[in-house]
Amino acid sequence: MLNEGTLTVGLDTEITPELSKEGDVRDLVRGIQQLRKESGLEVTDRIALTLGGSARLKEAWEAFGDYVASETLAKKMVWADAEGASEIEAGEEKWRVKIEKA
């Protein structure tokens, strides 16, 4: 709580499962954008994504897959193990991601 004269502000700092998933997906999008850059892809290039990770990360991807696709210009996304995948940190866990130009 913060008190400033007659004004009191309280923040709910509980991280709900939904907020946690959203944070994991934002980490994923940020990591994909970095991989795009490192791969020499143009900002407008469409990509195909192969994703992997824990069951919790899969739930996050299933809940926010449309967001991931729109933010990364992914035409195709599949959940599978991919040889040569890069790891993207999401808190204590890691996404496994492979991007290819579509």
pLDDT, tens digit, 9 for 90 and up, residues 24-34:
999 999 999 99
- Cβ atoms within 10 Å of 64's Cβ, excluding its own: 19
User: What are the residue boundaries of the structural domains of the chain, listed by start?
Assistant: 17-101
> Can you give the pLDDT at residue 46?
97
- Cβ atoms within 10 Å of 90's Cβ, excluding its own: 22
> Can you give the pLDDT at residue 77?
97
Angle value at C-alpha 39, between 36 and 43, nearest 5 degrees: 40
- Sort strands 2-4 and 86-90 into parallel, antiparallel or unpaired: unpaired
Query: What average pLDDT score do residues 65-73 get?
Result: 97
Query: What average pLDDT score do residues 42-49 get?
Result: 95
Is the pLDDT reported for residue 53 higher than 80?
yes
- From the list 56, 70, 72, the residue with the least C-alpha distance to 24 is 56
Global confidence as pTM:
0.85
CA distance 94 to 90: 5
Domain made up of 17-101: CATH architecture:
2-Layer Sandwich (3.30)
Give the confidence band of 48 by pLDDT, cuts at 50, 70, 90.
very high
Q: Express as a percent the part of the chain with pLDDT over 70.
A: 96
Read off the tokens for 77.
């996304």
Is the pLDDT reported for residue 1 higher than 70?
no
